[in-house]
Amino acid sequence: MVADAIAWVLHASREFGGIPLVLVADEARVRTSAWLRAFVADARLPVATAPAPDRNWHGGVVLAAWPQAEQLATIAADPRTRGLCVVPDDIAEVGVWAEAAHPYLLGAEAAPECPPALDPVIAEALTTLGGLVNPSGTLAGLQSRRDAVALLVIAHEGGHRCTREQLYGWCLAHGWSQRAARRLAALAAHVAAGRRPAAPAGPFRSDILGLWRDRAATRPHGCPCVDG
């Protein structure tokens, strides 16, 4: 698996330019992998262990070898990343990233298992929210938080449930920034636990839930890992 990843990174680097970067959870993973150790030494490549690479790295193709989830989400969103190849410890751990990125599989590796599809009514609620806030922002403003909490509460009280991972993956797959997706997922987790994050009352009409249900019934909502 590592040999295939190295070959892909070398090929992609010739196409996209820049300096390849090796991203690992800790540098011991480089020392214990003969392939990775030789790759780093021969090409004198930078190795990153923090979620965000050093500012002195100006961009290129990234080989993320057994990364932590936070590292993978951060490097995938980094504008300096020109290409990304992931070697996971457990292929199930990269499911959220794979849902958003639709990666090409090297060799005979199995596809990551697609997370269970998000409740289509919640997907419609998030689509509404995306038209009210800036999905590429941080979701930190008072009005954005108010609207997010109000929509999540309406869906929850209507009997519609989702996991933090489902919501986070859906947001990434639909162009939300990592920070906004993470913040929204945290708000959803509070709502699911029966807590109501502090926020002013939302401005939504009383029949908004019925509207989401009607829309959900008329739109296809397949697995984003397959259907895109």
Chain segment 132-141, per-residue pLDDT in tens: 999 988 898 8
Shared domain for 132 and 91, answered yes or no, is no
**Domain-located, residue 112:** no
3-state secondary structure of 4: helix
**Domain-located, residue 47:** yes
Q: Which of 101, 135, 160 is the last residue of a domain?
A: 101
pLDDT value, residue 94? 77
Q: How far apart are CA 148 and CA 63, in angstroms?
A: 35
pLDDT value, residue 222? 53
User: What residues contact 69, with CB distance under 8 A and at least 6 apart?
Assistant: 93, 96, 97
Question: Could you identify the residue written with the tokens 């926020």?
Answer: 199
pTM over 0.75: no
Question: What is the count of structural domains for the chain?
Answer: 2
Shared domain for 216 and 124, answered yes or no, is yes
Q: What is the pLDDT of residues 9-68, one digit of tens each?
A: 999 999 999 999 999 988 888 888 898 899 999 888 999 987 778 888 999 999 999 888
Shared domain for 50 and 124, answered yes or no, is no
Q: What is the pLDDT of residues 146-179, one digit of tens each?
A: 999 999 999 999 999 998 888 888 888 788 888 8
Tokens for 164, please give them. Answer: 């933090």
Q: Which domain holds residue 191?
A: 120-227
Q: How far apart are CA 94 and CA 75, in angstroms?
A: 13
Q: How confident is the model at residue 226 (pLDDT cuts 50, 70, 90)?
A: very low
pLDDT value, residue 228? 42
Q: How far apart are CA 214 and CA 218, in angstroms?
A: 7
Q: What is the pLDDT of residues 168-221, one digit of tens each?
A: 888 887 888 888 988 999 999 989 888 877 766 677 888 999 999 999 998 865
Q: What is the pLDDT of residues 100-135, one digit of tens each?
A: 777 877 765 555 555 677 899 999 999 999 999 999
Q: What is the pLDDT of residues 75-99, one digit of tens each?
A: 888 899 999 999 887 666 677 777 7
